[in-house]
Structure 1
Amino acid sequence: MKNNNHLQRAAAAALAASLLVGSLAACGASGAAGNAASEGASAEDIAKALQTETTLTVWGWAPQLKPIVEAFEAKYPKVHVNLENVGTGNAHYTKLQNAVKAGSGAPDVAQIEYNALPQFALSDALADLKGYGAEELEDNYTASTWGSVNLNGGIYALPQDSGPMAMFYRADVFEKHGIAVPSTWDEYVAAAKTLHAADPKAYITSDTGDAGFSTSMIWQAGGKPYTINSTTDVGIDLQDEGSKKWTGTWNTLVKDELLSPVTGWSDEWYKGLSDGSIATLLTGAWMPANLESGAAAGSGNWRVAPMPTYNKGQAATAENGGGGDAVLKQSKNKAAAYGFLQFSNGPEGSKIHAANGGFPSTTADLQTDAFLNAASPYFGGQKINKVLVQASKDVVPGWHYLPFQTYANSIFSDTVGQAYGSHSDLNNGLKAWQEATTKYGKQQGFTVSNK
């Protein structure tokens, strides 16, 4: 679900994030889990609802949703789906939160990214899907995506896509300068220095400061800076071992100006990906389609390798992007809405999603020979899905996002971003980010602890 347009627009709308959370803490005390027992429907009830004249409203922006809805309506002709794109990123979440706060106007189903899900799940805005049999589906999804929708004892969405991180790299650039594909972060930093010394216009990667990227990198380093103790009690420690492990590597690239100064998803960025002046991307498995469409001139030169790690031979990665679909508490048609989730995020919908450029979270689809052995001409004939599927198995477990992560991300540029801009210690930026995020959380009624 994460793509170039999403990131570009989400970044532009980041300041709007402060609108999203105002009412969350007020209803947090009761907790979503508190009302979960009264909700639910049997498999028979769900099947009956799908054979009853019904209209469902679905809010989402993913391009794969349109063909999924068409297939769903063909199978269940009595259920009409109004698919509405009310915006991407923060624009979508602002409208959704306004409807939740108003008590009316919310859709039956909403697309929600994993990093934003706690905001709605822990504020009692979403139906707990355990009452509809969702618990039985755990083995159908990768561990990391299932962990992202299983919050505070409830299941608040079914995973749709995922973004296990890998290293996309220009094989031609590495070969030209005699650089071996790095498998550790020490090797990656050394490659950055070699490349930029050989060609001052070339950089190992681009990064001018992005909250989603930074949290994913901390995740990959084994960090667990966010803890969720209850619906109103959280912890923030952006100086934990994993956070410092990441800054210990990345500070060299920032301070020595070894990162391309172009902004991600800009025309200049795509130009760098096309001409090789940006030699690698550390990003989610959803990236191939964006490279093919945005950097067509690089066709045949890109390859995919596992993420570099801190300990050679010990695979570790993180999720970057992706999300699922949730049923709103306001829905008057929850059984049919859950039936839609079963279709769209189950075997039928997941195949459609993958066929239209998405990277699935369903283990069955990830394991098919057709998916694993698909050779990509853009990537020089490499069977890139083998690398990406392995990445989905190597995601470090135990990560959590804050119930006000959307707001936290919106102030990243004012805190950590300043360290990027001044080529200074990222730890100072992380400390400032933690302080500002903690202050905001307390203002919203949360108990926030810092180690």
Structure 2
Amino acid sequence: MNRWSRQRRTTALLLGTVLTAVSLSACGGGPGDGSGTETVSEAEIQKALDKPSELTVWSWSASLADVAKAFEKEHPKVKISVRNVGTGPAHYTKLQNAIKAGKGGPDLATVEYSAIPQFALSKALVDLNRFGFDSLKDEFTSATWEAVNVDGGLYELPLNSGPMALFYNKKTFDKYDIEVPTTWDEYLDAARALQKADPDTYIAADNGNPGLTESLIAAAGGRPFSADGDKLTVNLQDAGSKRYAASYQKLLDEKLLSPIAGWSNEWYQGLAKGNIATLLSGAWMAGTLKSGVPDAAGDWRVAPLPTYGGEYATSVNGGGSLAMMEQSDNQLVAAAFQRYVSAEKGADLTQATGSFPARAKVLASEKFLGEKDPYFGGQEVNRVLADSLAAVREGWQFLPYDVYALNIFNDKVGKAYTGSTTLQEGLNLWQEDLIKYGKEQGFTVN
């Protein structure tokens, strides 16, 4: 999921130390545990599974405990403790504290795709190429595989994905006889029509969402961030970023977006009543609607993300998997569990809970694509989302301090949502700070 709580500032400051703290080169375990840099064979992994061992996993996933039990049943000498130490920022804070201390951390931890570069750069994560997991590339979609590979290293096996789509309240659109938009110009027209029909109804709510902004820039073709070792480029004035800013600015200028904060009680109430008529989000929003707005079952549908005309192109929003910590002293068994979670039976168990998959064979399955979702009026939602994933623009890179970038977003860009500045001016200020921060961390930034 791509949402950040009030804890973001503390989290970003703690995670910022990942780039400079001496203790980040924490040592791994001892002989025979799989730690080190040498290539590991499948025989060695299987031998480790036949010995008594314990794994600790930090994750906020509600389904992972059941996956762990299934793995233990197949490998009875392995015991797995799944601990929820917090969600999102709270989780990363505790993880970073353990990394900085060089001890006390888990063997495996949930790390969202956007945060992988930051942890990988610090040498806190194990490169899974040494276990031969690069051979699993064709098991996953290109978009998710790209997300877990950083600077030549493979740091996770994809588990879920967040292709962007337009979630819309069909009941509201039908009530006012408004067509579902397919382009951003049509989206603007629909926003105007909704406000004209009912001043209390908005096309969407947005008071400054950094993750959404990155995703919409990516869908517009923007590539503002690039990294090559310690050399970075930060350019929020590229063509795609400007295209997004110019289009979205019209919604802000005409006050067509509700200022209600996401995830607030008012936000859920707006979704339930249809006063917030659309959500631009990753696939995970389907689960959020079902759990958070159950009374609106049948009202909502899913459509392709609007385009700028021409070829259909999208991006991702959210998603993550398990990363292995360098300080783990049981890396062989940890690797086996990672593979089980993402590429074997564990992935089936996770998918059954509603997580949108990253495995190519599932996304090509007519059974999966043709599933009719009763919450969305019997619509084949998976087909819409799978089409979106196939249309994700390639080449997006997150900054190796994306957690910090998301944290300061509203300090720099937030005024655009109140009309005090333009969105592009806010992005320019964001760029200035990101360049300054990168140089302070020792990067060469253009």
**Could you list the per-position Cα deviations for residues 88-134 of structure 1 after superposition, in whole angstroms to 9, with x for gaps in the alignment?**
21221122122222221221111100111100111111111001011
Query: What aligned pairs does 1:199-218 form with structure 2 within 5 A after superposition?
Result: 199-218=198-217
Query: 3-state SS of the aligned residue for 1:112?
Result: strand
Name the structure 2 match of 1:20. 15
Contact 1:64–1:358 (CA under 8 A) maintained in structure 2: no
Report the residue type matching 1:427 in the other structure: Q
CA contact (8 A) 2:24 2:100 kept: no
Counterpart position of 1:248: 246
Instruction: State the partner residue of 2:29.
Output: none
Corresponding residue of 1:270: 268
Please show how residues 209-248 of structure 1 align to structure 2 within 5 Å: 209-230=208-229, 232-248=230-246
Distance 1:241 1:37, change over 3 A: farther
Query: How many angstroms apart in 1 are the aligned matches of 2:157 and 2:58?
Result: 15
1:85-164 aligned at under 5 Å gives the runs 85-164=84-163
Q: In 2, are the aligned partners of 1:275 and 1:297 still within 8 Å (CA)? A: no
Quick check: 1:28–1:123 contact (8 Å CA) kept in 2? no
Higher mean C-alpha deviation, range 15-24 or range 392-401 = 15-24
User: 1:178 maps to which residue?
Assistant: 177
Cα distance between partner residues in 2 of 1:350 and 1:439: 41
Where 1:319 maps in the other structure, the secondary structure is: coil
Q: Is 1:330 aligned to 2:335, yes or no?
A: no
Counterpart of 2:168 in 1: which secondary structure?
strand
Runs of 4+ displaced beyond 3 Å:
25-30
Q: Secondary structure at the match of 1:201?
A: coil
| 1-structure distance, mates of 2:243, 2:20 | 32
**What residue number does 2:287 align with?**
289
Contact 2:18 2:119 in 1 (8 A): no
Q: Indicate the residue corresponding to 1:426 in structure 2.
A: 423
The aligned residue for residue 403 of structure 1 is: 400
Conservation of the 8 A alpha-carbon contact between 1:37 and 1:131: no
For 2:270, give the aligned amino acid.
G
Partner of 1:339: 336
The residue aligned with 2:30 is: none
Residue type at the aligned position of 1:420: Y
| Residues 28-50 of structure 1 deviation map (CA, whole Å, 9 limit, x = unaligned) | 999xxxxx982331111111112
Instruction: Check the 8 A contact 2:21/2:100 in 1, yes or no.
Output: no
- Gaps in structure 2 of 5+ consecutive residues: 26-34
| Larger displacement relative to structure 2 (254-263 or 36-45) | 36-45
1:61 Cα offset (Å):
0.6
Deviation string for 1:207-237 (max 9, x for gaps)? 111110000000100110000021x221111
Is the CA contact 1:24–1:123 (under 8 Å) kept in the aligned structure 2? yes
- Normalised by the length of structure 1, the TM-score is 0.94
State how far apart, in whole Å, the 2-side matches of 1:26 and 1:233 are: 19
Report SS of the residue matched to 1:161. Answer: coil
CA contact (8 A) 1:226 1:402 kept: yes
Please give the per-residue CA displacement for 1:321-350, whole angstroms capped at 9, x wherever unaligned. Answer: 011111111111111100000101113111
Whether the 8 Å CA contact 1:28–1:124 is kept in 2: the answer is no
Corresponding position of 1:435: 432
| 8 Å Cα contact 1:112/1:324 also seen in 2 | yes
Q: TM-score, normalised by structure 2?
A: 0.95
Instruction: Pick one of 371, 374, 388 that aligns with 2:371.
Output: 374
Structure 2 Cα separation of the partners of residues 287 and 365 of structure 1: 20
Q: Conserved in 1, the CA contact under 8 Å of 2:24 and 2:99?
A: no
User: 1:398-432 CA deviation, whole Å, 9 max, x = no partner?
Assistant: 00001111011100110111211236310111011
2:69 is matched with 70
Aligned residues: 437
Note the 1:294-305 alignment, pairs <5 A.
Answer: 294-305=292-303
Query: Take 1:82 and 1:238, find their aligned partners in 2: how far apart are those partners?
Result: 43
1:84 match:
83
Looking at structure 2, the residues matched to 421 and 195 of structure 1 have their Cα atoms a distance apart, in angstroms, of: 20
Contact 1:256 1:423 in 2 (8 A): no
User: Could you tell me how far apart the structure 2 residues matched to 1:249 and 1:39 are?
Assistant: 50
For the residue of structure 1 that corresponds to 2:202, the secondary structure is coil
Distance 1:420 1:201 in 2: 18
How well do the aligned residues superpose, as a CA RMSD in angstroms? 1.8
Aligned to 1:94, the other structure's residue is in SS state helix
Give the Cα separation in 1 of the matches to 2:190 and 2:39.
54
| Deviation, structure 1 residue 368 | 2.5
Cα distance in 2, alignment partners of residues 28 and 364 from structure 1: 41
The aligned counterpart of 2:31 is: none
1:25: Cα distance to partner? 4.2
Q: Is the 8 A contact 2:125 2:326 kept in 1?
A: yes
- Aligned partners of 1:283, 1:317: CA distance in 2, in Å? 11
Letter in 1 for 2:19: L
Change beyond 3 A, Cα 1:399–1:341? same
**Residue type of the partner of 1:337?**
A
Between 63-72 and 16-25, the greater mean CA deviation after superposition: 16-25
Report SS of the residue matched to 1:345.
helix
Identical-pair percentage: 47
CA apart distance, 1:26: 5.8
Residue equivalent to 2:197 = 198
